[in-house]
Structure 1
Amino acid sequence: VSCNLQLQPHAAVRFRRMCDSEALEPGPAVRSWVQRRWQALGLDEGEASTTPGRSSGAVRSSPAASLRQTEVGQSAALARLGAALAGFASSGQPLLVTWTTGGRSFIQQALNFALSIRRHVPHLENQFVIVALDESAFTEIQDYGFQTLLHAVAKEDYPEYFGPRCAARTVYYAGVTQHLFCETNAFGMHFPLRLMCWRELILFSIFSHTIVKNDVLRSSSSPFESLPVYSPSLRVQVLLSAVSRGLELAVADSDVVVFRVCAPLPDPFPLLGLDADLEIATAPHRLNISRQWLDPEHVQQGKTSDLPTIFVSIASYRDSQCQYTILDLFRQARHPERIVVGVCHQVAKEDEECFLLDLDAWSPQIRTYFLCHDEAKGPCFARALIQQELMGDEDYYFQVDSHFRFVPGWDQLLLEQLAACPSPRPVLTSLQSAYELPRDQQPGEPDTAVMSRRETVTVLCADKFGDECPGQDDAFLRIKSRVCRTDFGHLPPPALFWTARFHFSRMEAARECLYDPYLDYIFFGEEISMAARLFTSGWDLFNPTKTIGYHLQSRFHRPFYTEVQVSELSLRRHRYAKARLYKLLGDERYAAAEGSVASPSLPYGLGTARTLAEYEKFCGVRFVDHTVSDHARRGGVATELLAPSWAEEARNELLSAKCFTDPEVWAGKGNADALARQFPDVLVKHGPPVELLRARELAKARVQELVLQGSQMPSSSPEVLLSLSRAWTHLGQVCDQVEDRQEAERSYQQALQLVAEADCSWLTDDDLNAGIFNGFLSLARAAALGGLGRFDEAKAAAAVSLAAVSHALGCAEDPPEAVEHLALDAVCLSHRFHEQTEDRAGLGRQCGHFRSLLHRLPRCTPASTARIAVLSDDAPPDDQEETIRARLLEALLLSMMASGTDEGELAAREVFTGFPEALCSSACLQRQLGLMQAGGLFLDLGS
């Protein structure tokens, strides 16, 4: 340190580091202030004569001994504070101390700090103390179970701070000169605004806060706008108290949080007895002192730091979800200041809905390339544009789709996962988890994405080549993911393949394997070709073991680029691009079929570090004859570590079936005809199926039969009226299936009228069991109301039926099979109504009814908390006849899982643990468990 400033070596090094990191000049004002502060600790120039930066020399007297001679050291308040701190330090461990005044926001800051310690470094909680200046803060912190002490400050304790010469510090902001002017009892200084760190001057943030009143100081005579000043010098009081008693501690502001680290924490107390300034987030300080200790939650946006930077590539085709993706990306990042987004917007002039959210706060970190949608040529072309036009000199490259959500701290998780890969050239790639959108979600509204509950590890696997897929016009390998039964010890396992949906690596990987700009309209060939290019360039692929985010699989909310792939020129370009990739992969047969082209050369071709033959051997796929090994289908993972393969296939079939029942899920918004062009035999309309027409005739005959029976009776009984109502409802449902809506509505109206008649007549029938009959009656009413589209009334009626079922099971007065049959119908109907209205919250509110019903069902064994067995690869039989009990358990399971709530998942678990005899004998329950395990649920990997 220059200017003859003499401090102890560790303090001098610290002072120099802080001055350098904040561009502070250690001029006369700074030097004078530091010397006076140091002398207050009992060290004058004679005592601290060691040259800065060298090993410590002998000191005539210890700081503690000198401090006891000072007026400050004799303060009664400091004595009380020191004694209390000494009590917490009885274990001999250093203390980490923070403080808080009263007021909701300040107390919450301290509690956030404390809770982050409890969550991420719980072994340090017994070394952590909160000094409370307010009794309400003291009480609330105690209620949370944290160590705290009450430190009341009075004027008589610190007369030197409350005298006429130093009543307060006044801070003004000079808008013209962009300077701060500070008046203190000692000196006046000007500092540029760049020296500000959040609310305080760096000078004061490094060494001390000054006693001030907590209100905003205003001067009517000043031309400047006044700023709030809030902090007393409690940090100095704590430090002086500690030094006077020889305690070891570090003091931190309350507005910091502890973050997770994989490695053991370094020693957080290198400056024992001094202010460790853990709230300072400057680059050199974080790197050298507290980088892995504390992390501010209020880092300045755009602040230059030594944090590694991440470039995020997002190609968006008319996607209204892209704005939500970018907003969530910044909000969920631990360090948003290190993120730079490069987005290629391929939009039409009517796509205003893609730009409704306010992203102005992050605009300096968003680079945008606009392309008219009719000039779009598929995702590869857009990603090539991003790399050519927007990618900078950032440290890392992260590629995601434009419809993605992120977990909190995703940027730090990515860096930790990449560092855990056992390779000097790793690439993380994964299909990640999923999220869903309500069908009625409107762009610009608050985000209503529903995240998947799956948190298990998945691996990328080979599926099949395109020439084996009906309706496809290419022969490229398809990639899918499979759920694992292990977390691999949290070390990312090798990946055989690569997905464009999620790529994270050092920037060198993106630069060495640039996107080929000549791959017009390529979709499926993008992934397998890039996997081969990365591997042959010496990069190693890995599956992350942590969930980083959630991907939206459905396309119903957005158009798809195939809507513009209609001209003859676009088809020729697509054929050229396919031939180019076939040639790269050595698939000469299909390359010749698309036309004669040369294999792409660097930087768009294969690398030279490894050969294509080595990649084929590594991944278990032969591109010449389209052979896929079992090793490739398992993603290189042993069979016993994967969810059942039959369940994976069944799950994929369900997803494929959904594409045909709702074409926009696959083809994109307003583009259903694209699916019809590819699958004309599947989607062409030939009128209602013959079996449905036959079912309608049978339903009409049943109605006529019951009407005839009723006419032959002197008075219709409630049972006959109820049966006739059900028959009319069934007829209405069949008419809906054959798209005869007029006949369906007439049938539902008849059913509803008959329910009302039955409701009147059963009250006079003493032979009927009121509880169970009321349940059947409410169920019939719900079915008719639902058919008429009166869903709110239908849900209420179904809830009444469920309550009647629960009561009947508790009384055990009715035949169990009849009650369970009613329960099955009521659960299925309630689930259907909530699903039709996309009312997931309402279904969640029904979970209490479902769980009560489940608990009342008789069972052979008591409820169990044992782990759920992972099913084998032997698929359950398809032709097994199911009992009413098994079908009811299946309906309860599906309804509770569809609620998306913790309560629903816990109750669904009870279906498998509480009724093992039903699981063993029921193929439908085994199939449902297999489907859920294939989706990453109920694998019971943890302890």
Structure 2
Amino acid sequence: MNNNKTIFIGIASYRDAELVPTLLDILARAQHAERLHIAICWQDNGKLHPFIDSGFIPQLVGEHHGHTLYRLIKGNAQIQLLAVDYLKSQGACWARHMSNTLYNGESYHLQIDSHSRFTAHWDSEMIAMLESLRSQSPRPILTHYPPPYTPEQNKEQRSNKVSRLIFSQFNDKGVVSLNSVDMVEEQPRRSGYLAAGYLFSDGHFIENVPYDPQLFFIGEEISLAARAFTHGYDLYTPHKVLLWHYYGRAKSPKFWSDHTNEAKKSGQVDQVWWERDNISYQRILSLLGISDKQVDLGHWCLGTHRTLQEYQYRIGVDFRQQRIHPLIKAKEKLTWFDHLPEEHELWQQQLVSPHLRMWQLTHADVDILRKDVLWWQLSVYQADNTPLINQQLSPEELLKLKSNDNGEKFDLRVYFDTQRPVAPHCVRLCPYIDGEGWGDIKERTW
């Protein structure tokens, strides 16, 4: 790493007990901690003792954008802490925006969540990997969902599997959501998607693609990926583990648990979380061309290097029609198409409409392990009772669709696609029992 190669690390932290351990790990595992500038938007109660107890020395700097700014002294890294009353916070994307206001021209930009762990010499490794892509792209970005860790694990227990981002589904607002699958590669792999919890780029990404403070949570990643692409940035999946991420955090405080209807009525918060979410969705739907309603996006619009339509060609997704290329859901699970289609109409003809629901069932209602069932009938219907699918599944095939089984409840994955957009109305499951015939039908609305 050259002496002038500095890294700006933006962290949004909401009442997170893992923030201090994350900071300690960043410093301990970096090869050149003195070249780090860490900026934290700390949404909490303002009590500094967790930092002091861990050897940080806070120094009051003054006000920054209406909030108290501290410098945290520990080692040679520059660490800035922007203290925000958590009830005055405006959400995760706003917090990322606020931390980025402290950017000071550093060479590189690392965006992470406040619950992360790092490999040895992660800073040099990330820079080397990013620079290895310069012959392929002038503006590469490393991004994916890092493998998981939990605080009670030691380093030897953490997974070293690398995953890449893939299309999951269109949510009920028509916005793309993502999932991940394992990946084994010898070098970074081109991707069409971006993960907000790990993003490593040139520092100028912060200035060229500024974070939209009015986004809330859902849709953050697909909208930022589209903006990055249209500003000329190219996304890549790292081919080896560089950090870990703490997923779930079921017992940790969440923004939507604090910013409630009751909190607004009592004057504690200006807006309820779902009000911010509604504003966010309007901006995302406008940005991606899903909605005809025009929204003034200000500085947080698409770029001019490439078009939104080219981005949709590259990832095989039609945002407005909610249709996808079949290879996205096939065994290949493609997320990037190297070649652009010759004609838009031919591309449209290839697309299908995906339909996915996770149906929660109880073992008491559906005995999925019943031995005398010859097969299961899984069907989806439109409102006029027109069948969309009728699948005859063996007990073994049905078990493959089951997930998240806690002994009492489980999820059944129902997926199919159609050549044209349709509106599924209900899904039904019925066993055919040896010596008895059809059993009880279980039904739920789609």
Partner Cα separation in structure 1 for residue 334 and residue 85 of structure 2:
39
Match in the other structure for 2:61: none
- Cα distance in 1 between the residues matched to 2:225 and 2:277: 20
Distance in 2, matches of 1:372 and 1:499, equals: 27
For normalisation by structure 1, the TM-score amounts to: 0.32
Match of 1:431 among 105, 125, 145: 145
2:11 aligns with 314
Instruction: Return the alpha-carbon distance in structure 2 between the equivalents of residues 403 and 632 of structure 1.
Output: 31
Aligned pairs, number: 325
User: Which residue among 35, 38, 42 is the counterpart of 1:338?
Assistant: 35
**What's the counterpart of residue 877 of structure 1?**
396
Contact 1:477/1:524, CA 8 A, preserved across alignment? no
Alignment pair present for 1:504 and 2:200:
yes
3-state SS, counterpart of residue 327 of structure 1 = helix
- Match of 2:189, SS state, is coil
Q: Residues 877 and 580 from structure 1, CA distance in 2 versus in 1: closer, same or farther, beyond 3 angstroms?
A: same
Task: Provide the secondary structure at the position in 2 that maps to 1:505.
Answer: strand
1:349 and 1:449, CA in 2 relative to 1: closer, same or farther beyond 3 A?
A: farther
SS of structure 1 residue aligned to 2:42: strand
Aligned partners of 2:30, 2:395: CA distance in 1, in Å?
44
Paired position in structure 1 for 2:378: none
Call closer, same or farther: CA 1:346–1:317 in 2, change over 3 Å. Answer: same
TM-score norm. by structure 2 comes to 0.66
Deviations 1:559-594 (A, max 9, x none): 111113323733433312210111000011xxx6xx
* Alignment equivalent of 2:122, drawn from 402, 407, 410: 410
Tell me the equivalent position of 1:394.
106
Counterparts of 1:339 and 1:313, CA distance in 2:
11
Contact 2:13–2:43 under 8 Å retained in 1:
yes
Deviation at 1:508, TM superposition (A): 1.2
Paired with 2:285 and 2:233, the residues of 1 have a C-alpha distance of 22
Structure 1: how far apart are the matches of 2:169 and 2:182? 18
Tell whether the 8 Å contact from 1:397 to 1:510 is kept in structure 2 after alignment: yes
Residues 1:528 and 2:246 aligned together? no
Give the deviation of 1:355 after TM superposition: 6.2
State the AA in 1 paired with 2:38: V
User: What corresponds to 1:463 in structure 2?
Assistant: 168
What is the letter of the counterpart of residue 17 of structure 2? S
Gaps of 5+ in 1: 1-290, 292-304, 439-447, 468-473, 639-651, 658-680, 683-687, 693-873, 881-943
1:376 matched to 2:121? The reply is no
- The one-letter amino acid paired with 2:132 is A
Question: 1:635/1:413 Cα in 2 relative to 1: closer, same or farther (>3 Å)?
Answer: farther
Residue of structure 1 equivalent to 2:416: none
- 1:336 and 1:327 map into 2 onto residues whose CA distance is 11
User: Do the aligned residues in 2 keep the contact of 1:460 with 1:635 (CA within 8 Å)?
Assistant: no
Matches within 5 A, 1:255-266: none
- Note if contact 2:130-2:142 (Cα within 8 Å) is conserved in structure 1: yes
Q: Counterpart in 1 of 2:285?
A: 582
RMSD: 3.2
Equivalent-residue separation in structure 1 for 2:170 and 2:365 (angstroms): 36
Q: Contact 1:462 / 1:628 at 8 angstroms: preserved in 2?
A: no
Say yes or no: does 1:629 pair with 2:325: yes
> Measured at CA, do residues 691 and 416 of structure 1 come closer, stay the same or move farther in structure 2, by a change above 3 Å?
closer
Relative to structure 1, the CA distance from residue 419 to residue 879 in structure 2 (aligned partners, 3 Å threshold; closer, same or farther) is: closer
Structure number with the higher strand fraction is 2
Q: Return the alpha-carbon distance in structure 2 between the equivalents of residues 417 and 327 of structure 1.
A: 24
Secondary structure in structure 1 of the residue aligned to 2:279: helix
Please name the residue that 1:927 is paired with.
Answer: none
Give me the whole-angstrom Cα distance separating, in 2, the residues matched to 1:607 and 1:478.
22
- C-alpha distance in 2 between matches for 1:690 and 1:423: 54
Relative to structure 1, the CA distance from residue 690 to residue 417 in structure 2 (aligned partners, 3 Å threshold; closer, same or farther) is closer
Of residues 241, 252, 258, the one that matches 1:564 is 258
Q: What is the identity, as a one-letter code, of the residue corresponding to 1:340?
A: H
Do the aligned residues in 1 keep the contact of 2:190 with 2:336 (CA within 8 Å)? no
2:243 is equivalent to residue 549 of structure 1: yes
Q: Which residue of 1 aligns with 2:439?
A: none
**Deviation by residue 1:778-804 (Cα, 9 ceiling, x = unmatched):** xxxxxxxxxxxxxxxxxxxxxxxxxxx
Distance 2:182 2:227 in 1: 26
Identity %: 29
Separation in structure 2 between the aligned mates of residue 393 and residue 372 of structure 1, nearest angstrom: 28
Judged with a 3 Å threshold, the aligned counterparts in structure 2 of structure 1 residues 690 and 413 are, in CA distance, closer, same or farther, namely closer
Q: Which amino acid in structure 1 is aligned with residue 93 of structure 2?
A: C
Corresponding residue number in structure 2 for 1:476: 175
Distance in 2 (CA, whole Å) between partners of 1:481 and 1:600 is 30
Distance 1:402 1:497, change over 3 A: same
Shift of 1:540: 0.6
CA distance in 1, matches of 2:155, 2:366: 38
| 1:600 and 2:297 aligned | yes
Match of 1:214 in 2: none
* Higher relative contact order (CA closer than 8 Å, sequence separation 6+): 2
CA offsets 1:372-414 (integer angstroms, 9 cap, x no match): 01112211000011112x2111110000110000000101110
TM superposition shift of 1:555 = 1.3
Decide whether aligned partners of structure 1 residues 624 and 369 sit closer, same or farther in structure 2, where only a CA change above 3 A counts: same
- For residues 727-742 of structure 1, what are the structure 2 equivalents within 5 Å? none
Counterpart residue identity of residue 536, structure 1: T
Q: Give the CA deviation at 1:349.
A: 5.0
